Amino acid sequence: MPKKTIPEEEYMNTGHVGCLGCGACHAMRYTLKALGPKTIVSIPACCWAVMPGPFPAKCLEVPLINTAFEVTGASISGIKAALDAKGITDVTVVGFAGDGGTADIGIQALSGMVERGTDVIYIMYDNEAYMNTGIQRSSSTPVGAWTTTTPVGTTKDWKKQPKKNMMDIMVAHKIPYAATCSIGFPEDLIKKLRKAKEIRGPKFIQIYAPCPTGWRMQPDKTIEVCRLAIATGAVPLYEVENGVYNISRKPAELKPVKDYLKIQGRFRHLPEEELESIQKNVTREWKILLKKEEFTKGLVDL
């Protein structure tokens, strides 16, 4: 019998109402497998506000509170404070928000929560746009992407700005632990979440969660696109613990980023020179990350 690398326990039942091939769906499932039943989850407006199913259905086996779009960081601060007031210490409090709810409208509440040193796990599942409202750009949408508010058209109006780097922003808060994960690498994801659970203070986890509907690709491409994201260096997996960088996966040689872009319809319109520019940036960012790892290694004992 092959060795099982993912916990068998399920805390997410069948019956979610996400799309076929939804990456966010796996993100929740693995998160709960990693953290177990003594977890309280707060969810703002996002696809996951709908996905547990309409009242009275609920596909999650943990307590769940829905909260307003921009307040996840404050909501989990409140839950944690109440648990502290009651002397309950064995419950993990998790915020589970989309990239829009995190990098845009919710960044203030998140920043406050991290700055206060709140002992919670904040998860940003990153599908790189506002999907719940129909694929509008967020600040986490990568450069070059089509969305309904960067509609390309004859004016070539695709997203022109680079993706906001939430990890850098979190590191600037001196957060004890921040990590990127991908639903295509569940063992790594579970390992990082379990580590986060043991660390006291605020933890930030960014989970790469492809959205076939919004990325204009077939649902059976979800895992493939995750693999290509790593192989090309487009979405690197790494963690930052007390300022020390540690890259989780280092391909011997990065594949051309084109391989990653071309299986997604949202990049279909990009001309050759734009692809080259994206390639340049991906290579550059990868090199910066390698340097950060090298540079911060020596800080472990400082």
Partner 1 sequence: MKMVMTGNYASAYGAKVCRAEVISAYPITPQTSVVEKIASLVSSGEMKAQFVNVESEHSAMAALISASMTGARTYTATSSHGLLLMHELLIWAAGARTPIVMSNICRANGPPWSVWADHHDAMAQRDTGWMQVFCEGNQEVLDSIIMSYKLAERPDIRLPSMINEDAFILSHTVEPVDVPDMELVDEFLPSYNPRFKLDVDEPYGFGSLVMPDMYMEFRYKINEAMEAARQGWRDVEKDFEKTFGRNHGGLVEFYNCEDADAVLLIMGSVASTAKDVVDKLCSEGKKVGMARLRVYRPFPVEEIRKLAGMTNIIGICDHSYTFGHWGPMAQEVRGALYGIADQPVMKNYIIGLGGKDMTPEILEKIFLKTLALKDGADQEIEWIGVKGLGGW
List interacting residues with ligand SF4 (CB under 6 A).
18-19, 22, 24, 47, 127, 131, 211-214
Q: Sketch the per residue contact string, 64 through 103, with ligand TPP: x for CB under 6 A, - otherwise.
A: -----xx--------------------------xxxxx--
Question: Given the complex with ligand SF4, which of 235 and 240 has the nearer CB atom?
Answer: 235
Options 3, 4, 86, 200; binder of partner 1; rule CB under 8 A = 86
The two three-digit tokens of residue 173, written as one number:
């808060």
Q: Could you tell me the smallest distance in angstroms from the CB atom of residue 97 to ligand SF4?
A: 12
The two three-digit tokens of residue 184, written as one number:
């295509």
> Which entry of partner 1, ligand TPP, ligand SF4, none binds 101, CB below 5 to 8 A by partner kind?
ligand TPP
Q: Evaluate the CA torsion angle 122, 48, 180, 129 in order and state its sign.
A: negative
Which region among 123-131, 175-183, 235-243, 266-274 touches ligand TPP (by CB under 6 A)? 123-131
Paired residues of 42 in beta bridges: 65, 95
The two three-digit tokens of residue 273, written as one number:
């020179």
Options 37, 115, 133, 300; binder of ligand TPP; rule CB under 6 A = 133
- List C-alpha distances in Å: 91 to 35, 36, 75, 197, 249: 10, 10, 15, 10, 31
CA 15 from chain centre, in angstroms, equals 23
- List C-alpha distances in Å: 147 to 78, 127, 150: 35, 12, 5
Q: Could you tell me the smallest distance in angstroms from the CB atom of residue 184 to ligand SF4?
A: 15
Which region among 42-50, 86-94, 110-118, 289-297 touches ligand TPP (by CB under 6 A)? 42-50
Q: CA 191, CA 60: separation in Å to the nearest integer? A: 21
Residue nearest to ligand TPP (CB): 98
Q: CA 284, CA 289: separation in Å to the nearest integer? A: 9
Helix axes 186-198, 23-35, angle to 10 degrees: 40
**45 is a contact residue toward ligand TPP (CB under 6 A):** yes
Question: Given the complex with ligand SF4, which of 263 and 289 has the nearer CB atom?
Answer: 263
**138 is a contact residue toward partner 1 (CB under 8 A):** no
- Cβ atoms within 10 Å, residue 177: 21
Taking CA 187 as the corner, what is the angle to CA 122 and CA 141, rounded to the nearest 5 degrees? Answer: 50
Nearest CA-CA partner of 67 in 78, 83, 56: 78
| Residue 239 DSSP one-character state | E
First to last CA, the chain: 45
> Which entry of ligand SF4, ligand TPP, partner 1, none binds 212, CB below 5 to 8 A by partner kind?
ligand SF4
> Which entry of ligand SF4, ligand TPP, partner 1, none binds 180, CB below 5 to 8 A by partner kind?
none
Site for ligand TPP, rule CB under 6 A: 24, 45-47, 69-70, 97-101, 127, 129-133, 138
Site for partner 1, rule CB under 8 A: 37-40, 42, 49-50, 52-55, 58, 60-68, 70-71, 73-79, 81-86, 91, 108-109, 111-112, 115-116
